[in-house]
Structure formats: structure tokens, C-alpha cells
Structure 1
Amino acid sequence: MAKMKTNEERKAELEALTEQMGKQIDSYFESPEKIREHLQFLGKFHQYSMRNAILIESQFPGAVAVGSYPFWEKQGAQVQKGERGIKVFVPNPVTYVLHKDEWVPLSKAPKPIKDGVKQGRIPSRKMMYF
């Protein structure tokens, strides 16, 4: 079974990706040719956010298609031993509910509160995390 990462490890990984992304952005402005290459690359990944497109390019400059493991499996492609995926930011919506004057994740709220949210009696809001 794979070892779960600690919050500190995740934070360090996120900071490293952000730093790598910053360096990649700086490299775009070295010459007009670099800008043109970057724009051509972005054209291939227009459905991704700018941040994810930059991450894709910094990790795999020759990428022509990106997809999850199940996506490639449906296409009939098999990941080969030793191949590694690239990292991108994936949106993860979390619903929060007002409980005892504090916003808490709905998943950690007591059952009566969850029922109140379903019935619309208790306010809730969604926040997006990556």
C-alpha cells in the first residue's frame, strides 16, 4: 500500500511546483521565439487553466495530449512499468456548513446538521481547493 503524504510533504510539493511554474513563466520572455513556442503549446491545451498548462509544459515540454489513467485505459493505451504521471492542479469542491457559529466541512458535521442542509434549513457554501 502506498504511503500517505503528510500535510508538510504536500505543502513542500506544492511550493516546489509553484516555484517550477514561476521559472517556466520567466523563460517565456527570453525571446519572441520562446513566446511563440509557448503560445503554440497553449493552443494544444486550451481546455486547461493557464496554471495547469504551464505545469504540463514544465514537466513534459513535448506533450501533445494529457489525460488521467482511466482516460488512457479507455483509449486502449497501457501505462508502462516505470512511467510516471505529471502533476496538475485538480479542483476539489468542499461544502462547508455553519455549525455553532463556525464554518465546518459538511463531511465532519453531525447527522442532524447534514439533514438540515439537505432540507435547506441550514446555510452552506462551497469552496474550491486544488
Structure 2
Amino acid sequence: MLLGLSGQNKDMDVSYEAVNGSGDGDGGVPHGALLARLAEAMWEGDREATAAARAAVVDAAGADVMVDAVAVSANFHMMTRVADGTGTPLDPGTYDMSAPVREACDLNGFVSRRDPQGDRQTAQGASS
């Protein structure tokens, strides 16, 4: 979701085609396919694949892009774990606004998507 908002700020036409293996291409993001490959390798914990993906990003986009990509990925991973561990649900606005993105990327089945208070259709009454 933040990718989409960030793309709007930079007048970019981003899509979610590169997320979760839901398509080929860059998703409208420079080096998007390489960045997606890096994120997937990091998530899978495959050291060789992660090293190869980091090297590919450095070769194509430079070390600064690779460092930023790894930092962003790590930060999102951390935020999800903190929210999950504390039982913090999405606020109602984010829950509703993110519904099309969650559906497009097939994210609703992920453990980190589950609502610790019980699956609900809307986030009414949720606290942030």
C-alpha cells in the first residue's frame, strides 16, 4: 500500500504485479523485479540466493539502492512482528483502504494478516 502511495507522490504508475509472484515485470518500479527477488530471498532465508540477489541489485542499481531495499524490507518485517506480538490490529481506515491491495496480492491468507481478535469483515471499533 505504501508503494502505491509513494508511486503517486513521484508520478509513477506502480502496480502490484511483482508482489507475491503474481506477475512478471517491475511493477512500475525501477529494478522492481530484482528488488522483489531480493525480498523473496531474504524472506526464504536462503543465504546463497540472498547474496546473489544483493549482488544483482548492486550491479543494476548500485549499493545505495540495495542498502535502502534491505533496510525497508527489514523495517516492514519488524513492524509486522511488533504489531502481531502486541495484538495490534490495523486501524479502520488502513484496513478498509488496504482491502484491494490485500486481495490483489493474495495476502489475506498470511499468518501476519490474521486478526488476533478474530477475523472480521471491517475494522470498526479497532484501536491503533
Same fold, TM-score > 0.5, yes or no: no
Higher relative contact order (CA 8 A, sep 6+): 2
Give the TM-score taking structure 1 as reference length. Answer: 0.28
Higher helix share: 2
Question: How high is the TM-score relative to the length of structure 2?
Answer: 0.28
Whichever structure has more strand as a proportion of its residues is 1
Larger gyration radius, structure 1 or structure 2: 1
